[in-house]
Structure 1
Amino acid sequence: MKRIAAALLIFCCIALPAFAANGYELWLPYHKVNNTVLAQQYTNTFKAAFVPGSSATVEAIRKELSLAIPKLTGNAPVWNSASSNSRLLILRFDALKKIDVRAKLQPPPSHKEGYSIFTTSMNGASRLIVTANTDEGLLYGTFHLLRLLQSGKSIQALNIVEAPKLDVRVLNHWDNLDRHVERGYAGQSIWNWHTLPGYIDQRYIDYARANASVGINGTVLTNVNANALVLSEEYISKVKALADVFRPYGIKVYLTARFSAPIELGKLKTADPLDPEVQQWWKNKAAEIYRAIPDFGGFLVKANSEGQPGPQNYNRTHVDGANMLADAVKPYKGIVMWRAFVYSNEVPEDRIKQAYNEFQPFDGQFRSNVLVQVKNGPLDFQPREPFHPLFGAMPKTQLMMEFQLTQEYLGFATHLVYLPLLQKEVLEANTFTGNKPNPVKQVLTTKVSDSAVSGIAGVANIGSDLNWCGHPFAQANWYAFGRLAWNPDADAKVIAQEWIAQTFALKNQASAPIILRMMLRSREAVANYMTPLGLTHIMGNGHHYGPAPWSDNLPRPDWNPVYYHRADSTGIGFNRTASGSNAIAQYSPQVAAQWNDPKTCDENLLLWFHRLPWDFKMKNGNTLWNNLCLKYQWGVNEVRTMREEWKQVEQAVDPMLFKQVAQLLNVQEQEAVWWKNACLLYFQTFSKKPFPQGVEKAGKTLEEYKKMRFPYAPGNG
């Protein structure tokens, strides 16, 4: 029965119109090129193609071109057995040099994943060449070429040299072995552990293709709230099956290591990282994994956070735990990604200070194959946070970024939110080192030693829904993460344009700028109808669905929204200056000086760092209360504008896609209004002030909003 279902799924993906009908093909539908000049140019290039080699990666290149070119041009590529008369050559540089030394060759970068794409003359004829030092580089170069074709670019005069700026570019799947996805809003986990290793779903291959097309080279298969069972012999064989599928596409697999696994699997009495038996257990386990999966990437660890076991259970440090695991995988060139998301109920300190306090004193003490994985902000993936103070504060430790693609705090899979706008805000933020500017992206790309590797992670928004991500536009966040992971300098607007060009078969190109405007206004809209002016963490308990700024009944103070906004009759906001929690002191003097003064603080972070009276005068002349109200209303208005803009493209997109997005935008508007009304009615009980002109009247009372319950909201634990 399962095989029949799988066959039907593949049939649907082939038979139905690309993207619009189901979205399964993501940004790789390879729509037919409508420009006849370009179509002929592409066809001529692929009339004689030379792709030598017998590796699984080279075979994947041929398969991708055999899939793409007929769909793009209507003509299948012609594979030549020799290079002499080939118009397209895709081959490694060492082989290219032997073909015709008279050709003007553009060498690829020295990076193992780098590539060159260029046009040159060989034997008196024009040739298009994709070359690299490795097969993985050829794969990335091929997908770059296909991206140009899908975007309708000329390929007659190319001179492209590319290499990733970050080494480890991974998706973190918060997927449990029972297929439930924690904070997942697009169905079950795509990993069917029950049928592995014997049954390989086509979706696994298409997942690998999609990741390779944007330069993602790793996947952490399991939840950071880890289950030790995945390290058992039975599950290692299942992981091996996935690793074998992903390997041709340059993707390594990683697993989350539950710190107590020596007790749960090994039947030891302790998991103390300084205990010789525990150390040997991990070394033996690493050896077992690498025997099965020689290119296994390593471990991701969440320890001593939110109930997870860790070295502090034994009065040891994060350094002790991370270095023990690092020593276990080092002989195999593996890495350990040790999460810095830690906070303790026993520590009365401002929660956003705790990660810095726990990790910064250990700068320089982690092994060279440890990457400390730091969330983009010091709290928890909120619609807007300042950059995490650890960036720039640990110059002797390799830090890697952790972004969240799944929209836990951004409307789940029902809200259109283009996340690269948030990500670029963080990547471009300046941490300063002494008096020298040091943006976060530079912190990530700078190697602290010759043996260190750099990295970035994205918490995946992928599930078993036919379109992978639930919301059609959520696919753009997966795509864009890969592009930014490859190059943090990339422009979020350009990435959006790429995604639109590849994903939609638009019937008129005038619709592309409209869709682009929707995407570029979306993040600021959601920040305003949820948490404007630096408010944060005021969502519903547990499921994090919808507003609940009144919540105060959870056992930990820092799980309650009232802990963060601290509204009362005198004002609102969290004082994190020297007269408050002094969290601002964790930043460089230049940054702290700007944010310390409410007159110079970025108004988008005002209430994050300052507690202010309701009548505080804002830069635009409004009082804080009026500005807060108008920000909420502005967020709602922006969603309405997005709805109207989507209506303008109805004739340019597939009817099924149009209807799906239109309905989701309607849901988003309703929920934006809900956020505005519930929050403002609640805060008004403290301000005692009327709503300013332009703010719509609420349709329900505050008590009605408070009574709303969502026991089955998706993605909760």
Structure 2
Amino acid sequence: MRLSRLLLMFCAAFGLASPVLADDGYDLWLRYRPLSGTALAQAEAHASAVVTGEQPSATLAAAVGELRRGLGGLLGHPIGSNEANGAILIGTPRSLPTLAQLRLPLGNLGSEGYLIRSVTLAGRPVTVIAANDDRGLLYGSFALLRLFQTGASLDRLDIVSAPKLMLRVLDHWDNLDGHIERGYAGNSLWDWWKLPNYKDPRYTDYARANASIGINGAVLNNVNAVAASLTPDYIAKTKALADVFRPWGIKVYLSARFTAPMEIGGLKTADPLDPAVAAWWKAKADEIYSAIPDFGGFLVKANSEGQPGPQDYGRTHADGANVLADAVRPHGGIVMYRAFVYAAQDSHTVDRTKQAYESFKPLDGKFAQNVIVQVKNGPLDFQPREPVSPLIGAMPKTPLMLEVQITKEYLGQATHAAYLGPLFEEILRWDTFAKGRGTTVAKVLEGERISGIAGVANIGNDRDWSGSTFNQADWYAFGRLAWDPEASSQRIAEDWAAMTFTPDPAFVKPVVAMMMASREAAVNYMTPLGLTHIMATGHHYGPGPWVKDLARAEWNPVHYHQADAIGIGVDRTVSGTDAIHQYAPQIAKQLANPKTTPDNLILWFHHIPWDYRMKSGRTLWDELALHYQAGVDQVVAMQRQWQALKPFVDQERYEKTEAFLAIQLHEAEWWRDACLAYFQTFAKRPLPAGVPAPAHPLSYYEALQYPYAPGH
């Protein structure tokens, strides 16, 4: 019997709290630590053995192996493979003919859905995991393990689940030298130098973690791509990763450099309408698919932030996407073409938030059938809060996929606890009115001919994968919401907390309350009331609302708050940039008036006088200052909540989180003091009661420099 099981039995016998064993975070939410009490008794009754057909595929073998690994850890002993009371039967009607007699309703599950059901077979109670395809069995296995881990009832199970989105993809902004753009958890997980000959076992654990939450794709290299990624040497390295990921249901994709035909192909042009360019892309696709038959396709960033693209040749984004789409179509591949674009030239009158819509809306219906346009959740750039991009729901003839950022470039990076589940849920529940009231972003995505969502990964080679324990929850929430965009971020947090720490309600309830409030806390101490993009430039670490001397107007934070003696905020109504009219009429009407605009977006859409009376009855200046203070107070509350949970958490993860919360409090106070010191130079009003004066003069904050901040 394992030592951990003996410890649990000893503690139970003498009424002691269960021992908290050491944990460095590597196992994520797949810890499979021994159960106790009722959860253990229930598990023992339902998991005496795992039974499947003979000669399973690599994917079914992975599913069965995970069940035995997980149940062995949870029960504290190895799991058998013979049919018995409480056995788990796993298979498709083809691989396990015994299931055929049950006449299970698998017709609507597709190739990735699964069914978990309690049945009686040959007089024995068994739990069945069934699917049409082995990928569904893999996802069903992880779903059943989640029930065991969280202490859910296992009696009379009848679960039917299928993903609502086809493409559930992580975008890794990883460079070939190991650096990660906007990465805060170490260097790249991919050791390109040692590939393809050495396949780090960690690649398998990465794939397991993704499969456990339904992620089925990974873009391996940065959207700011280099052409070398498409050379034979790197195709071989990509193949090695694809071979590791394949049993876990994960396809690999590559970001394609638009000028690769010139840089590695020897052509004199990359014009997408040049026949030689089209032929080069077709030959390159044939080469890749020869090595990786299930290669997913290309991700493309073009004519944005200095990247080359079709507009360099007077062509449209549809022209640029379609030449690559034609190349991968014979192989079943797709092209994910990013809509994150803005004009190459500077303009002091342009509103950058309008440019994706202006660039892509006129091209609706002109993209090839295997192109999906990838749209950032907001019209700007992954801010702590943005309105949803008006492009979502505005291109009925073109499939769109949502892009969100899991790595927290603008939300405290590695050290701030800011659970992103509520942010993702807020986006997915936004009503676009594309087909009338109730057409949420989730509904728009689910209704696309090719449906999908992409998340910019927060994964690096840090031992805990994401730079902090609580950043793991963002990866987890993305996967669960990608599977079901209408799921509850709070319920997801409850599952994550139970699996990552303990299912004890005395821990789960308060830690989830802390998590659910944490993103709003960050918004309050960074960018309250619809303020946006006031971070320091380049690294985006810390506040920089005073920056105004960069080469292009739209790079300067002052461009995004426009504070003056009258007030603060950007007028995006008809009297300003008129960005509101990119939205459906029902939304535009609401946003046209400050009184009907939600307070949490008011400064995004309106330039508001300092003495304007907010819905609370307070002036805008007082409201702004009190929101900054509320953010600081919320971090203090999070510290207290975490300290009260110390008995439930191992020392290593407890102390790391405690230290990070101390950093977060210091930086929340820095944000509050620096921003209020700066905005007070325009407002020229006293701070309201309860908000302390900044600790330093404005010049102190303006002088701070961080040239080596991570994630550049």
1:433 and 1:472 map into 2 onto residues whose CA distance is 38
- Mapping of 1:182-193 within 5 angstroms? 182-193=181-192
Alpha carbons 2:45, 2:86 under 8 Å: kept: no
* Structure 2 CA distance for partners of 1:242 and 1:435, relative to 1, 3 Å: closer
Q: Cα deviations across residues 238-286 of structure 1 (Å, max 9, x unaligned)?
A: 0000000000000000000000000001010000000000000000000
Select 2:623's aligned residue among 617, 621, 627.
Answer: 627
Q: Which residue pairs with 2:12 in the alignment?
A: none
Counterpart of 1:549 in structure 2 is 545
Partner residue of 2:481 out of 481, 484, 488: 484
Aligned match of 2:87: 87
- Give the aligned partner of residue 231 of structure 2: 232
Matches within 5 A, 1:491-502: 491-502=488-499
Match of 1:584 among 570, 580, 583: 580
Q: Structure 1 49/560 Cα, relative in aligned 2: closer, same or farther at 3 Å? A: same
Opposite residue 452 of structure 2, the aligned amino acid is G
* Deviation sequence 1:119-139 (CA, Å, 0-9, x none): 111112211100001010100
3-state SS of 1:94 partner:
coil
Aligned-residue offset at 1:104: 6.1
Deviation, structure 1 residue 43: 2.5
How far the C-alpha of 1:324 sits from its partner, in A, is 0.7
* 1:121 partner SS: strand
Matches within 5 A, 1:394-473: 394-433=395-434, 435-447=436-448, 452-473=449-470
Could you tell me which amino acid in structure 2 is paired with residue 275 of structure 1? D
Distance in 2 (CA, whole Å) between partners of 1:410 and 1:20 is 29
Alignment counterpart, residue 24 of structure 2, candidates 22, 25, 29: 22
CA contact (8 A) 2:20 2:649 kept: no
Corresponding residue number in structure 2 for 1:5: none
Is 2:618 aligned against 1:616?
no
Matches within 5 A, 1:245-644: 245-346=244-345, 348=347, 349-433=350-434, 435-447=436-448, 452-505=449-502, 509-644=505-640
* Counterpart Cα distance in 1 of 2:102 and 2:440: 41
Offset of 1:48 from its aligned partner? 3.0
Q: Which amino acid aligns with 2:352?
A: R
Aligned to 2:67: 65
Aligned partner letter, 2:556 = N
TM-score of the pair, normalised by structure 1 = 0.95
Q: CA separation of 1:102/1:443 partners in 2, compared to 1, >3 Å: closer, same or farther? A: closer
CA distance in 2, matches of 1:171, 1:101: 36
The C-alpha deviation readout for 1:501-551, integer Å capped at 9, x for no partner, is 100036x53122111111000011000100000000000010000001000
CA shift at 1:625, angstroms? 0.4
Amino acid at match of 1:550: W
Shift of 1:49: 2.2
CA distance in structure 2 between the aligned counterparts of 1:95 and 1:713, rounded to whole angstroms: 53
Work out the CA distance in 1 between the residues paired with 2:100 and 2:201: 42
SS at match of 2:253: strand
- What SS does the corresponding residue of 2:480 show, helix, strand or coil? helix
Shift of 1:154: 2.3
SS at match of 2:117: strand
The one-letter code matched in structure 2 to 1:173 is: H
Distance 1:108 1:33 in 2: 35
Structure 1: distance between partners of 2:516 and 2:236: 44
For the residues of structure 2 that align with 1:133 and 1:104, how far apart are their CA atoms? 13
Alpha carbons 2:93, 2:100 under 8 Å: kept: no
Q: 1:435 to 1:72 in 2, by over 3 A?
A: closer
The letter for the 2-side match of 1:241 is: A
Distance in 2, matches of 1:421 and 1:438, equals: 19
CA–CA separation in structure 1 for the residues paired with 2:47 and 2:344: 62
CA distance in 2, matches of 1:410, 1:100: 49
Work out the number of aligned pairs and report it.
Answer: 691
Matched AA of 2:387:
P
Preserved CA contact (<8 Å) 1:615 1:625: yes
- With over 3 angstroms needed to count, the CA separation of the structure-2 counterparts of 1:183 and 1:111, relative to structure 1, is same
CA distance in 1, matches of 2:191, 2:134: 29
Q: Verify the 8 A CA contact 1:378 1:386 in the aligned structure 2.
A: yes
Structure 2 contact 303–344 (Cα < 8 Å) conserved: no
Q: Distance in 2 between matches of 1:504 and 1:299?
A: 38
Q: Secondary structure at the match of 2:168?
A: strand
| Worse-matched range after superposition: 68-77 or 240-249 | 68-77
Q: Over residues 125-175 of structure 1, what are the superposed CA-to-partner deviations in whole Å (9 max), with x where a residue is unaligned?
A: 211100001010100000000011111112221000000000000000000
Q: For the Cα contact (< 8 Å) 1:93–1:108, is it kept in 2?
A: no
The secondary structure found in structure 2 opposite 1:341 is coil
Distance, in Å, in 2 between the alignment partners of 1:47 and 1:274 is 62
Q: CA deviation at 1:302?
A: 0.2
Partners of 2:275 and 2:135 lie apart in 1 by 39
Q: Post-superposition shift, 1:47?
A: 2.1
Identity of aligned residues (%): 55
Distance 2:50 2:345 in 1: 65
What TM-score comes out, normalization by structure 2 length?
Answer: 0.95
TM superposition shift of 1:369: 0.7
Gapped runs of 5+ residues in structure 1? 1-16
Q: Provide the secondary structure at the position in 2 that maps to 1:219.
A: strand
TM-aligned CA distance change 1:100 to 1:205, over 3 Å: closer
Q: What amino acid is aligned across from residue 87 of structure 1 in structure 2?
A: A
Structure 1 match to 2:98: 99
What is the SS of the residue equivalent to 2:401?
A: strand
Distance in 2, matches of 1:437 and 1:509, equals: 35
Post-superposition Cα deviations, 1:295-318, rounded to whole Å, max 9, x if no partner, equal 000000000000000000000000
Per-residue deviation, 1:100: 6.2
Q: Which residue of 2 aligns with 1:659?
A: 655
Helix, strand or coil for the counterpart of 1:622? coil
Question: 1:453: Cα distance to partner?
Answer: 1.7
**Residue 674 (structure 1) aligns with:** 670
Rounded to whole Å, the distance in 2 between the matches of 1:85 and 1:280 is 61
Contact 2:86/2:124, CA 8 A, preserved across alignment: no
Partners in 2 of 1:95 and 1:124 — Cα distance?
A: 22
8 Å contact 1:116–1:131 — kept in the other structure? yes
Tell me the equivalent position of 1:702: 698
